[in-house]
Amino acid sequence: MDSILIFGATGGTGREAVIQALEGGFAVTAVVRNPAGFTLRHDALTIVKGDVLQLSSFEKEMVGKVAVVSCLGVGRDFKPTTVYSKGMENILTAMHQANVTRLICLSASALYTYKEMGFFIRLLAKQVVQRILKKPFADLRIMEKTVLASAVDWSIIRPPMLKDKPLTGKYRVAVGTHLAKPFSINRADLAHYMLRIVNDVRTFRSIIDIAY
């Protein structure tokens, strides 16, 4: 049974990733700051009290994993943060120490704008989303640069607006290029795709758009 390590498991996408990974036959280790608040239980689930900003709190859990899935987020906290950048530095350090080479991490489609978005979505991203999330996005950009400069087999997933709706299994992806008019994706489908590509070499060292 392949074993994966999931960060951000208490968030909407992270929780979906844990559930679907267990359903898909993975052994899962979830690193959470407050285990008492994480109610999922499964024979193949290990819950570890840890903080991504404190390497020593989780580095030993990296041993024996085939992949790391990072669903780190700051929720509705729009203040300056280092959760993405420093957290990813620590994750990559632990991966190097344990010789783990596969990383799948969440970013955001609105981090940058491009013509394929179309006028409305590009305007929304630039004039609304980027302004509201200016400080978290600044750290998220640093995180992306850190991942891009690393030696691991990374995939950076850039979803648009996230919705709490059921899994459909039907969505568009663009590996190394951009989707036209990416507006939304359900967290369940986002998690589905992240797990689907754990061993997909075609997605290694690629930035990926996903949307309906």
Residue 113 lies in domain: 3-211
Q: CATH no. for residue 129?
A: 3.40.50.720
Which pLDDT tens digits describe the chain residue by residue (212 residues)? 999 999 999 999 999 999 999 999 999 999 999 999 899 999 999 999 999 999 999 999 999 999 999 999 988 888 999 999 999 999 999 999 999 999 999 999 999 999 999 999 999 999 999 999 999 999 999 999 999 999 999 999 999 999 999 999 999 999 999 999 999 999 999 999 999 999 999 999 999 999 99
For 46-108, the DSSP string reads EEEE--TT-GGGTGGGGTT-SEEEE----TT--S---TTHHHHHHHHHHHHHHT--EEEEE--
28 in helix, strand or coil? strand
Q: Look-up: residue for tokens 């280790």?
A: 29
- pLDDT for 132-168, tens place per residue? 999 999 999 999 999 999 999 999 999 999 999 999 9
Number of domains in the chain: 1
